[in-house]
Amino acid sequence: MAFWKQFVLSLIVIIAGFSAWVSFAPGAGDTMRDAGIPESLVSMIAPKADETADAGAPAGARGQRPDGAEDQGQNRRSGGGRNSAILVVTQAVVHGVVNDRLNAIGTGDAIRSVAVTPQASGTIREILIKSGDKVKADQVIAKLDSEEQVIARGQADVAVKAAVEKSNLYHNIKSSVSRMDVFDSEIAEHGARLQLQAAELNLARRNITAPIDGIVGIVPVNIGDNVTTTTPIVTLDDRSEILVDFWVPERFANTVEVGQPVEAMSVAKPGQVFFGVVEAVDNRIDAASRTLRLRARIDNSSDELRAGMSFSVSMKFPGDKYPAVDPQSVQWDSQGSFVWRVTDDKSHKVRVSIVQRNPDFILVKADLKDGDKIVTQGLQRVREGGAVRVTADVASSGEVATQ
C-alpha cells in the first residue's frame, strides 16, 4: 500500500477514535478544558459528552444539586468552582542550616614532651627508672661514671683551703707584706672557690635528671653503654593534657577562635567523647591545601589518651540559615530555577537560587518564610495565578542541618 494511503487511513482511525472518546467518555469535555483547550472549542467539539454526563446523573443532580448549587460539569464548563482547581500536594518550608558543624581528623601529642640527653659524655653506671614510671622534675633517672670528677672536686676543695689560709695569713701580717701580696692572696682565694664550683658542677652532671614531670617511655640504653651529649637516654611525656593538631577548610577561617569548645573521639576508644578547647589558631592559610591549622587542648587527667593517637574532632557553629524545600519542588525555565508557592488557593512562581543540594532537601536563597506551602506533586499543570486544590501537606520538621 502506498505511503499516502497508509497516512490517510491512520488519520481516519485517529479521528474516529477521538470522536468516539468525545461522544461516549464521561468527563471528556472536562479533560480537554484541563488540558488548556479553549472553552469555545470544547463546546463545539464535545457538547454531547457534557449532556451525556448530565443525563447519566440522578434527576436531582442534572441541572442543579439539591442544595441549589450547580453540578460538577457546569462548574467546570463555566471555569469556576473548587472542582476546576488543579490537584496538588504541598510541603511546608522549613529553615535549613549550613556550615554549622565542622568535622576533621587530627593527631594528638603530649602537652610537654622531652627527649632526655646527658650533659656530659661517659659510661652509664646506673639506670634508676623503667618504662612507664612517673617521675618528677629534677629526679635522677641515670648516673654516669664519676671517679675523675670526684677526684677533681677533692683537689679543688684542697686548693680552696690553701688559698683561704694564705689569704688569712696575709691579712694578719699586713704590716710585714705589701698590699699587692694581700690583693694577690684574695684573688687566689676567689679563683680556688670558682674551681671548686666548676668541679662540683662537673660532678653533678654525671647524674642525668628529669627536666619535667612526666611518664617514662622505653629506655633505649643499658648499663655500660658509652653515651655522649647527643645520645637519647629516654623520652618523657607529660600527658595530663593532649594537644591535637587538625586542619579545617578556609571558609571557617573567620569563624574559629581561641577558646571555642571542641569534641574529640579517639579511634582507640570509639563512642567515648573527650572535651577540650581551641588552644591556638595558625596565622595563615596553607596555599597548597587551602586549609587552616588549629590546635586543640584536651583534658587527660584520667590518663586514657596517648601521644600520637588519631582523633576525630568536631566543632559546632551557629551556621547560616536558608529556606529548605523538597528537591521535587524545584523547577527550571529559561530564567532559572523556581518553586510554586500556594497562597489563598492560588499558585505563584517564586524565583530561587540554590545554595546546597542534599538527598532530602535543597537549601535556597529566596523570598520564602517558614511554613510557606510549596507544591511538590502535580507540578505539570500548575500555572501562575491558577487555582489549586491541596490534597495533603507533607509533614516536615522545623529545622534541617547539614555540613
Domain stops at, among 205, 224, 241: 205
Q: 312 and 226 share a domain? A: yes
Residues 301 and 311 in one domain: yes
What is the count of structural domains for the chain?
Answer: 4
Domain that holds residue 281: 101-140+209-317
Res 196 pLDDT > 80: yes
pLDDT at residue 50, rounded to an integer: 46
| CATH code at position 180 | 1.10.287
**Which of the two residues, 252 and 401, has the higher pLDDT score?**
252
DSSP string of 246-267? EEEEGGGTTT--TT-EEEEEET
How many residues does this entry show for the chain? 403
Same-domain status, 350 and 373:
yes
Q: Is residue 120 located within the same domain as residue 214?
A: yes
Identify the three-state secondary structure at position 298.
strand
Q: Is the same domain home to 66 and 92?
A: no
- The strand order across the sheet containing 399-401 reads 353-357, 362-365, 320-325, 94-98, 399-401
User: Higher confidence at residue 18 or residue 125?
Assistant: 125
Looking at residue 69, its pLDDT comes to 39
Contact 117, 232 (CB under 8 A): yes
> Domain check: are 277 and 247 in the same one?
yes
Neighbours of 146 (CB within 10 A): 19
Residues 299 and 217 in one domain: yes
Beta bridge partners of 295: 245, 280
Q: Both 95 and 108 in a single domain?
A: no
Work out the pLDDT band at 65, boundaries 50, 70, 90. very low
Examine the pLDDT at 216 and tell me if it is beyond 70.
yes
C-alpha cell at 252: 571557617
Of 78-82, 157-161, 318-322, give the lowest mean pLDDT range.
78-82
Specify whether 166 is located in the same domain as 280: no
CATH code of the domain covering residue 395:
2.40.420.20
Q: Does residue 220 sit in the same domain as residue 281?
A: yes
* Alpha-carbon span 27 to 50, nearest angstrom: 7
**Mean pLDDT throughout 3-32?**
73
Mean pLDDT, range 264-277, rounded to an integer = 90
Mark which of 271, 296, 317 sits at the end of a domain.
317
What's the mean pLDDT when you consider all of the chain? Answer: 83
167 and 197 in a single domain? The answer is yes
Query: In this structure, what are the phi and psi dihedrals at residue 103, rounded to the nearest 5 degrees?
Result: -125, 135
